[in-house]
């Protein structure tokens, strides 16, 4: 099973702020998720949409939870309005994004259990937490190197 975060950014500053966090989280999920937890669902996919000066997604929060049966993907969108992220420093943004990603995954697990059988929910939640913690720890170590 795979957990993947994709991004759509409304301007270069949004990309600059979110892309490094998205990249770190994807790398953490890739190493932390160790097995298949569902029979039908192969990917939990979070679409990060961040508004900016060029494109405004005219929304905010978690939305559009759906199962793409043919592709075996459970998707959800996490939308940030420009006002939500523009004033946050890097550390605050990372904490906020981590908490919202965690909430997305909690909602996805609830929905996934309606669609499919989960083999070991406690282990999946544990691996998600490990990935989120690893992602934040890598930021701390990068900051110390500077």
Beta bridge partners of 141: none
Q: Where is pLDDT greater, at 14 or 146? A: 14
Q: How confident is the model at residue 143 (pLDDT cuts 50, 70, 90)?
A: very low
pLDDT tens for 27-83 read 999 999 999 999 999 999 999 999 999 999 999 999 999 999 999 999 999 999 999
From the CB of residue 29, how many other CB atoms can be counted at a distance below 10 Å?
A: 25
Question: What are the Cα distances from residue 137, in Å, to 28, 48, 131, 144?
Answer: 10, 21, 10, 11
For the CA atoms of 63, 64, 67, 72, the dihedral, rounded to the nearest 10 degrees, stands at: -80
pLDDT digits (tens, 9 = 90+) for 100-122: 999 999 999 999 999 999 999 99
pTM, two decimal places:
0.92
For residue 43, give Cα distances in angstroms to 52, 68, 71, 90. Answer: 28, 10, 9, 28
- Please name the helix (run of DSSP H) or strand (run of DSSP E) that holds residue 61, with its range, or none: strand 61-68
Question: With contact defined as beta carbons under 8 Å apart, do 102 and 132 qualify?
Answer: yes
Q: What is the C-alpha to C-alpha distance for residues 48 and 51, in angstroms, rounded to an integer?
A: 10
């Amino acid at each position: 099973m795979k957990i993947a975060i994709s991004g759509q950014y409304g301007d270069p500053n949004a990309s600059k702020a979110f892309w490094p966090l998205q990249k770190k989280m994807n790398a953490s999920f890739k190493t932390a998720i160790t097995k298949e937890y569902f029979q039908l669902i192969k990917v939990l996919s979070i679409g990060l949409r961040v508004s900016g000066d060029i494109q405004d997604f005219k929304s905010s929060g978690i939305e559009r939870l759906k199962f793409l049966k043919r592709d075996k993907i459970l998707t959800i969108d996490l939308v940030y309005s420009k006002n939500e992220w523009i004033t946050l420093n890097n550390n605050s943004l990372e904490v906020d994004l981590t908490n919202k990603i965690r909430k997305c995954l909690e909602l996805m697990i609830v929905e996934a259990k309606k669609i499919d059988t989960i083999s070991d929910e406690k282990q999946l939640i544990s691996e998600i937490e490990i990935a989120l913690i690893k992602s934040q720890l890598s930021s701390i170590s990068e900051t110390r190197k500077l």
